[in-house]
Amino acid sequence: MAKANLCYSIDAQNRITEVSGLLGKPFQEFIQDDATRMLMNSIVNSVRVLGKNRQVDYRCDSSTEKRYMRMSVSIEGDHSIKLCHELLRSEPLSPPFVTQTVGNDQTHYQRCSQCNRIELNQVWLEPDSSLLRAIPQPCPVYHSICPLCAERLA
């Protein structure tokens, strides 16, 4: 399987400066939830302030596949940042687990935007956990960051 990569650059004001059709837009516009937006701002700002590149592993699952990803964040000079997303590996998600992102004001389950675990009764579970089978699909989710990922990324 070929690895899928996505790279884009942002300038000192966090505007995308490289990726066809996205130039000049703040990268935060493409992040759906507040928790992930704050996390991304923190990562970008730490790379700028410390002048040190950073890698962050995360998951980007589909309803049928676990996709293990790595984001590389590097400084490019004049406070520009390059973000690259690399598919490290994928594996089947069985049985499939279908989600639908909803607004925070609607009834929902929390889904970690980094590891894709779903919070059920204050326990964060993998999407293929048998405990989640009772939830009707598509499962309404709102993205946040689970305590384990928050600690790992701090």
Full-model pTM: 0.81
Of 16-20, 44-48, 53-57, 142-146, which gets the smallest average pLDDT? 16-20
**E strands within the chain?**
5-10, 16-18, 54-59, 65-77, 80-92, 99-101, 109-112, 118-120, 123-125, 139-144
Residue found by looking up tokens 């405990």 in the block: 131
Q: What is the DSSP string of 84-112?
A: EEEEEEEEE-SS---EEE--TTSS-EEEE
How does pLDDT run across 24-60, given as a tens digit for each residue?
A: 778 888 888 898 999 999 999 999 999 999 999 999 9
Fold type of domain 5-153: Beta-Lactamase (3.30.450)
**Residue 46 one-letter amino acid:** S
Pairing state of beta strands 5-10 and 16-18?
Answer: antiparallel
